[in-house]
Amino acid sequence: MLYFSKLKIAIIYTTILLLSFFSLVNFINNDDNLILSKKINLGLDLQGGSYLLLEVDSEPVIKEKLQNKLIFLRKDLKENNIQYKNLRIRNDAITFNLKREEVSNLENFLFNKENRINSYIDQYSAFEMELNILDDLAEFKYTKFGIIEIKNSTLESSLEIVRRRIDEVGTKDPTIIRRGNDRILIELPGLDDPNRIKNLLGKTANLSFRLVSDEEDNFGTELLFYENSNDQLRVNKRIILSGDNLENARPSFNNINNETVVSFSLDRSGTKKFARVTTNNVGKRLAIILDGKIVSAPEIREPIIGGNGQISGNFDIQSAGDLALLLRSGSLPAPLKIVEERTVGPDLGEDSINAGAFSLLIGFLLVVAYMIFKYKFLGLIANAALIINLLLLLGILTLLEATLTLPGIAGIILTVGMAVDANVLIFERIKEEMKTEKSSIYAFDMGYKNAQSAVVDANITTLISAAILYILGSGPVKGFAVTLGIGILTTLFSAYFFARHLSSLYVKNNKENKVSL
């Protein structure tokens, strides 16, 4: 146990030097160098920033999907000669009246796959939809499973788009995670003013192009307000182009009108649609609508066949950039509502760092003093192992570019105590061996060997707890679990490789004398 080959010694000290180097690069500012730019990031509670908890409103999605199903249902009922009337959406369900003799025909059509093998197969899935009939009223609505599926898919889509929008703003090291069935947690370290982010996340960014028209047709018309005024304009309900056809959007400057605009380009399908509509409607006005409000309604002066266009609307540079960002990142499937908001000032974060560092320093000094008092020279070895342990821990956190929070600092402080605990178990076991053995080398060798199972078992059980915390926890709890888990591994390395090697050198150099312990 006390014999170390040259290869093993080389591996031990190379690992220590390498990770110690990475722990020290936290004090070097060089963002241009790939290695030197690695840092331990400070969490929201340490450097200040903004905390937002968003709730996804899935009701509009459910209504929209029911509207789509109503269109399919109306078509299929007519094709299957099923007599009905008063087909409409009411209370999150499609309702209609039908005669009793039509009930069996309806059920057979809806839930018999053989009768609809070439139809929109998932429209009437029994797992997703259920049919309830009371007298002559049929109610077709989502099952609980169907609603859960809609909410899950809506939340996942919203999470991805929120992540895109925040990444485009350039916020450093944001935390964006799912919370429960309908909420999204956002932590933005270093962001003091969250108003711009809130404005970006508060917009669904549902873009559509519709013709201005006073004439009723199969689609109908509706009055919509302009975005920045109370003026109204009647537009056709038919959407001729949506934001899904956008390929890119960016702010630019129109030299003709001397105004800031948002330039956009369309994909191949959108280009064809836009060319056809603008060719057939020269002289008419085209309303550009964002989240139900008219941004602008320019006149179509000539066919637009290149797939490029501009959106004007009294923008400044930032508002144009924000609109372009929203259009690039895509529209949210459902509205988001801020249910909780907190802002942590940088002064409070600095106080937290100082308090954590002071706690770590006090704990470290007390442990160092106790180990020297209790174990003399071997106490110095244990303290050296403790310093190496902290350097290894910080080095690994730097390589991972982990985010350090207050619970993470607590995990580091706990690591200090656990690292000493391993050496205490080993030294006490060596004491027991020295009572019966005359050879110091043999006593040290058996002490390390016999204490190994106790040390490893104790650390493995703690490592399992850290793993469970990481899997089931979130945010700061995960930060604590990460530092604790890494601290356990570095503790075992520093105790059974670094400290054991120093102990072996000490014992071998004093084999003629009585080793004090």
Q: Where in the chain is the domain with CATH 3.30.1240?
A: 59-147
What integer pLDDT is reported at residue 184 of this predicted model?
Answer: 92
Can you list the positions of beta strands (E) in 291-335?
293-296, 308-315
* Half-sphere CA count of 397, side-chain side, radius 13 A: 30
- Average pLDDT per run of 10 along the chain, which is 517 residues long? 80 92 83 74 77 89 84 80 85 84 72 46 61 82 87 90 84 81 86 77 85 75 86 88 86 82 88 90 89 87 85 82 84 87 71 77 85 85 89 90 82 82 84 76 81 86 89 79 90 88 81 60
What is the distance between the alpha carbons of residues 285 and 116, in angstroms, rounded to a whole number?
A: 42
The CATH code of domain 207-331 reads: 3.30.1360.200
Residue 367 pLDDT: 83
Which regions of the chain carry the CATH code 1.20.1640.10?
6-46+346-509
In sequence order, the 6+-apart residues with CB closer than 8 A to the CB of 386 are 364, 367, 368, 416, 419, 420, 494
Q: Alpha-carbon dihedral of residues 454, 457, 460, 466, nearest 10 degrees?
A: -80
Residues 6+ apart with CB under 8 A from 216: none
DSSP assignment of 115-174: GGTTS-TTTT-TTTEEEEEETTEEEEEE-HHHHHHHHHHHHHHHHHHHHHHHHHHT-SS-
Distance (Å, rounded) from C-alpha 315 to C-alpha 313? 6
Task: Return the pLDDT at 477.
Answer: 82
Nearest residue to 190 (alpha-carbon basis) of 403, 46, 47: 47
Q: Which of 76, 74, 68 is nearest to 116 (CA)?
A: 76
Helical H segments across 42-102, by residue range? 44-47, 59-79
Instruction: For the chain, give percent helix, strand, coil, nearest 5.
Output: 55, 20, 25
d(CA 314, CA 330): 22
- The HSE-up count of residue 236 (CA atoms within 13 Å, CB side) is 17
CATH-assigned architecture of domain 59-147: 2-Layer Sandwich (3.30)
Which residues make beta-bridge pairs with 187?
A: 51, 175
Q: Between β-strands 207-211 and 221-225, what pairing exists: parallel, antiparallel or unpaired?
A: unpaired
**Could you tell me where in the chain the CATH 3.30.1360.200 domains are found?**
207-331
Instruction: Report the Cα 42 to chain-centroid distance in Å.
Output: 17
H or E stretch including 340? Answer: strand 336-344
- The DSSP secondary structure of 97-121, one letter per residue, reads E--GGGHHHHHHHHH-GGGGTTS-T
| Six token digits for residue 485 | 């888990």
327 and 243 Cβ atoms separated by less than 8 Å = yes
Pairing of strands 41-42, 403-404: parallel
Classify residue 457 as exposed, middle or buried by CB count within 10 Å of its CB (0-12, 13-18, 19+): exposed
- How many CB atoms sit inside 10 A of residue 56's CB? 24
How many CB atoms lie under 10 A from the CB of residue 37?
Answer: 13
284: helix, strand or coil: coil
Token code pair at residue 170: 């350039």
Q: What's the pLDDT score for residue 120? A: 39
pLDDT of residue 217: 64
- Find, among 341, 359, 456, 465, the residue nearest to 413 by Cα: 359
Domain made up of 6-46+346-509: CATH architecture: Up-down Bundle (1.20)
pLDDT at 112: 61
